[in-house]
Amino acid sequence: MTNKPNTEETKMEKIVSLTKRRGFVYPSSEIYGGVSGVYDYGHYGILLKENIKNLWLKSMIQMRDDIYGLDSAIFMHAQAWVASGHVDGFNDPQVDCKNCKARFRADHILEDHGINADKMPIEFINEKLDELRKAKKLKCSNCGSTDLTPAKTFSLMVKSNFGSPVDTITDENVMYLRPETCGGIYLEYKNTLDTLHPKLPFGIAQVGKAFRNEIAARQFIFRTREFEQMEMQYFHDPKDTKELYEMWKQIRWNWYIENGIPKEKLRFFKHEKLAHYASEAFDIEYNFGFFGDSFKEVEGIHARGDWDLSQHSKFSGVTLDYYDEETKKRFIPHILETSAGLARMMLMFLDNAYTEDLSGEEPRVYLKLPPNLAPVKVAVFPLLKNKPELVAKAKEIFNFLRQDFMCEFDDNGNIGKRYRRQDEIGTPYCVTVDFDTIEKGAGVTVRDRDTGKQERVKIEELTKYMEGAIT
């Protein structure tokens, strides 16, 4: 196992390799050859993911008076996806290479040629593909063949046989695995209103799994077929849409900055082509270094009008309106949504944190994660494994620190190797018990991940020290 940065590898390859080697992310079902576009998260992966999720939940729920939490089921009534337009319209344009059988999203092929085809009709896409074909610019990025099919629409909905024997599944009774988490939020608007009695504007937030039959899921955890979303739907009076939309754009932008993403690596992307019910759609994009310096969507912020509640009201026959006691008016609230992918965000934080320090004698790699996001906050080491008094003291310190912080005890290998390992998982502080700790009562050394500097801290002050350092 080497920590030396390999100059031949791309940043993406380095991160994929680090996350596998250090137990963050594994390809799913690897011993059977894997499942394309599906990943498992190991020990450090779940800790990092959980920290990001909790940060989001804190900002959305704990720090706000007007947003409520929800955990709605993955399986929903089949009609809900007909009402939302997903059954008929949740498609992407697919192109196949006739030579190597690789599949591509046609809008992504066009994007690579500088043509924005996001949400464009299939006729437009095929027209543009033909132009590229005639100009001999249309090639399979996998094998180089020019023999690519025209684009056809491909449904992203994942079907199941939930609740029915397999042979009787029809278009009417098929159950889908939800393609986005917000669907469940719309269906719980009424229960939230009836039980918690919020006044407009109010929001419902949830984090959960979503499933999409992505045409091409080959960008590690950036695009997968099973993933988690963090979504918030903000119900409001339509007269306030403009003002609230700007407010949410700002709140979400600030969240990234507050959590250590430099503003130069972020930008807003305005969607020109909107769904017929939408009045505004922006994405927050992050410049992923490992995609060759390109901005990619991490979150969407959309003004969805009253489409969702109107459609569910129409299809379910249940009124989903709101009575405003001040104006004595009944109306269907409009919705603003903020929608982010958890794994995509994790990849953003990993990309931003990945650092190679080549200045010292030995090059080192570390994840410069904000301490509050780091999977492990403090690692505790005895200087030597074979000195029982050092090991006992280090265990004692580990056992009291772990009450307050995610900690790790390590007495394997030499101390330099232990530091390197913690650097690669992004642990901000390493505490070492040495002979001066025991013999002189000189406290412990605390090493800072980013500077590599060490300072001595009294044992009785360690908890306070860490509280101050890990915000």
CB atoms near residue 58 (< 10 Å): 12
Q: By CB under 6 A, which span of 244-252, 286-294, 338-346, 432-440 interacts with ligand ATP?
A: 338-346
CA gap 369, 264 in Å, rounded:
18
| Residue 334 contacts ligand ATP per CB under 6 A | no
Q: Which is closer to ligand ATP, CB of 297 or CB of 321?
A: 297
Q: Which is closer to ligand ATP, CB of 180 or CB of 410?
A: 180
| Residue 341 contacts ligand ATP per CB under 6 A | yes
Cβ–Cβ under 8 Å, residues 153 and 122: yes
CA gap 424, 365 in Å, rounded:
6
| Residue 340 contacts ligand ATP per CB under 6 A | yes
Report, in Å, the least distance between residue 114 CB and ligand ATP.
17
Strand partners, 337: 233, 302
Cβ–Cβ under 8 Å, residues 449 and 427: yes
DSSP class per residue in 227-251: EEEEEEEEEE-GGGHHHHHHHHHHH
CA gap 354, 160 in Å, rounded:
39
Q: Which is closer to ligand ATP, CB of 3 or CB of 259?
A: 259
Q: What is the 3-state secondary structure (H, E, C) of 444-471?
A: EEEEECCCCCEEEECHHHHHHHHHHHCC
Q: Which residues neighbour 401 within 8 Å (Cβ) at sequence distance 6 or greater?
A: 378, 380, 407, 431, 462, 463, 466
Among 343, 369, 373, 383, indicate the residue that binds ligand ATP (CB under 6 A): 343
Three-state DSSP at 310 gives helix
E strands present in 212-360: 226-236, 266-270, 280-288, 294-305, 322-324, 329-331, 334-341, 354-357
Report, in Å, the least distance between residue 236 CB and ligand ATP.
20
By CB under 6 A, how many residues form the interface with ligand ATP?
A: 16
Residues 200-239 that bind ligand ATP (CB under 6 A): 212, 214, 223-224, 227, 229
| Residue 312 contacts ligand ATP per CB under 6 A | no
**Structure tokens of 329?**
């008016």
Q: Which is closer to ligand ATP, CB of 92 or CB of 408?
A: 92
Among 339, 352, 422, 437, indicate the residue that binds ligand ATP (CB under 6 A): 339
Go through the chain and tell me how many residues it has.
471
Q: Which residues neighbour 471 within 8 Å (Cβ) at sequence distance 6 or greater?
A: 371, 372
Q: Which is closer to ligand ATP, CB of 119 or CB of 314?
A: 119
Among 344, 418, 447, 449, indicate the residue that binds ligand ATP (CB under 6 A): 344
CA gap 340, 21 in Å, rounded:
27
| Residue 84 contacts ligand ATP per CB under 6 A | no
| Residue 373 contacts ligand ATP per CB under 6 A | no
Report, in Å, the least distance between residue 340 CB and ligand ATP.
5
Q: Which is closer to ligand ATP, CB of 347 or CB of 397?
A: 347
Whole-Å CA distances, 389 to 161, 437, 439, 444, 456 = 60, 10, 10, 14, 19
Report, in Å, the least distance between residue 286 CB and ligand ATP.
10
Report, in Å, the least distance between residue 447 CB and ligand ATP.
35
Q: Which is closer to ligand ATP, CB of 180 or CB of 411?
A: 180
DSSP class per residue in 16-48: HHHHHHTTSEEETTGGGT--TT-EEE-HHHHHH
Among 111, 188, 237, 297, indicate the residue that binds ligand ATP (CB under 6 A): 297
**Structure tokens of 64?**
């706000």
Q: By CB under 6 A, which span of 239-247, 252-260, 295-303, 387-395 interacts with ligand ATP?
A: 295-303
CA gap 102, 142 in Å, rounded:
7
Report, in Å, the least distance between residue 256 CB and ligand ATP.
13
| Residue 300 contacts ligand ATP per CB under 6 A | yes
Q: Which is closer to ligand ATP, CB of 333 or CB of 341?
A: 341
Report, in Å, the least distance between residue 297 CB and ligand ATP.
5
Residue nearest to ligand ATP (CB): 341
Closest CA to 45 of 466, 369, 429, 431: 369
Q: Provide the mask over 156-195, with x wherever binding to ligand ATP is found by CB under 6 A and - wherever it is not.
A: ------------------------x---------------
Applying CB under 6 A, the residues found at the interface with ligand ATP are: 180, 212, 214, 223-224, 227, 229, 297-300, 339-341, 343-344
